[in-house]
């Protein structure tokens, strides 16, 4: 037997991607997968791409998960805290939801509503000091999808003093899987195809997370729904803190030893298809010739580095494994 892992919320898109990654992980044994309305269904009936994964989804209860060494929580926001509280302290937990990301209770109430469940170790290994913090934790809060795409583009510039922390502007397009698997009229194929539409303009819930993790003080964030199943392309602009700033050089130095973050060759710009199916983030940066603002473009797979892949990267660290174990660096093309 290897390391026993379980997935709560396994019927969703992020849960299904976790199951796929776990199936290919050399050290993990999947011992339980739970769901709500899909409980009692074989995994392959819910996720046809996982044919041969011989497991039936059970009800999402602590007892179904308590025998695992590590549990992934891929639940809707606001549902993780109660379930995690029912698990033994000896069980390591990675939460893909937002319940434990924010340190500021007032920010949680403002953007999510309800009581704040308290902050766990933030699950972005590429931030300074976070690999060590994650490795020493039994409870880790994985990032939001838009958040990781933006933070990886922005945080090194602010940490190096190359960019001002005010007047950060982000426009990011995401595939429809970022909205979850629940049936919603605005996500129907007929509504999405051939269309780009902004949503939650000026009030997206990832704003406080981005500010908390990157050091930004003011942030204008516009998310855009794009007619594709998965992927995020984020364009991040900010004011340089001085003259002669080379944002690409700052990013290249910050991520020189990061196995999943790739600063692309000069003149090559990220695109979402190149990250499909991977845990990688592709970055490129320049200085706007007219305004002088710094521009960083970031591409990720929202179900990979933005969700399941990031969570597995954290789990590897928590369990003393190389962080790359079982995770693809390269995307799937075409």
Handedness of CA 17, 178, 7, 278 (dihedral sign): positive
**What is the maximum span of the chain, computed from C-alpha positions, in angstroms?**
61
Buried b (16+ CB within 10 A) or exposed e, 34-52: bbeebbeeebeebbeebee
Pairwise CA distance, residues 76 & 9, whole Å: 8
What string of DSSP letters covers 198-261?
E-STT--TTHHHHHHHH--SSEEEEEEE-SSSS-EEEEEEE-BSSTT--HHHHHHHHTTT-TTE
Please, are residues 299 and 149 in contact by the beta-carbon 8 Å criterion? yes
Spatial strand order of the sheet with 70-73 comes to: 58-59, 28-35, 3-8, 70-73, 92-95, 139-142, 121-123
**Pairing label, strands 281-287, 294-300:** antiparallel
Q: State the catalytic residues.
A: 145
Q: Which two tokens stand for residue 310?
A: 């990031």
Pairwise CA distance, residues 192 & 224, whole Å: 11
Residue 295 phi, psi (nearest 5): -125, 125
Pairwise CA distance, residues 58 & 68, whole Å: 14
Q: Which two tokens stand for residue 141?
A: 């809060």
Handedness of CA 233, 255, 249, 221 (dihedral sign): positive
Of 98, 101, 119, 274, nearest to 180 by C-alpha is 98
């Amino acid at each position: 037997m290897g390391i026993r892992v379980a997935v709560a919320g396994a019927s969703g898109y992020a849960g299904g991607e976790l199951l796929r990654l776990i199936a290919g992980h050399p050290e993990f044994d999947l011992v339980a997968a739970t769901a709500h309305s899909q409980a009692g269904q074989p995994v392959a009936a819910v996720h046809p791409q996982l044919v041969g994964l011989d497991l039936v989804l059970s009800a999402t209860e602590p007892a179904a998960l308590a025998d695992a060494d590590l549990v992934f929580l891929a639940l809707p926001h606001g549902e993780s805290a109660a379930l995690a509280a029912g698990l033994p302290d000896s069980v390591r937990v990675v939460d893909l939801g937002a319940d434990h990301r924010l340190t500021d209770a007032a920010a949680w109430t403002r953007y999510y509503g309800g009581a704040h469940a308290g902050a766990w170790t933030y699950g972005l290994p590429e931030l300074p000091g976070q690999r060590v913090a994650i490795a020493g934790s039994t409870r880790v809060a994985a990032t939001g999808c838009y958040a990781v795409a933006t933070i990886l583009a922005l945080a090194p510039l602010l940490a190096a003093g190359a960019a001002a922390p005010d007047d950060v502007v982000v426009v990011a397009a995401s595939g429809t899987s970022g909205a979850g698997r629940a049936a919603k009229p605005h996500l129907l194929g007929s509504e999405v195809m051939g269309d780009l539409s902004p949503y939650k303009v000026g009030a997206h819930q990832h704003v406080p997370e981005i500010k908390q993790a990157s050091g930004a003080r003011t942030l204008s964030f516009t998310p855009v729904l794009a007619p594709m199943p998965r992927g995020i392309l984020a364009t991040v602009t900010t004011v340089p803190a001085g003259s002669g700033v080379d944002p690409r050089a700052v990013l290249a130095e910050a991520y020189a030893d990061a196995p999943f973050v790739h600063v692309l060759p000069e003149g090559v710009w990220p695109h979402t298809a190149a990250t499909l199916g991977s845990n990688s983030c592709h970055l490129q940066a320049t200085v706007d010739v007219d305004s002088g603002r710094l521009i960083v473009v970031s591409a990720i797979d929202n179900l990979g580095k933005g969700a399941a892949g990031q969570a597995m990267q954290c789990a590897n660290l928590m369990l003393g494994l190389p962080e790359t174990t079982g995770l693809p660096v390269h995307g799937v093309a075409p």
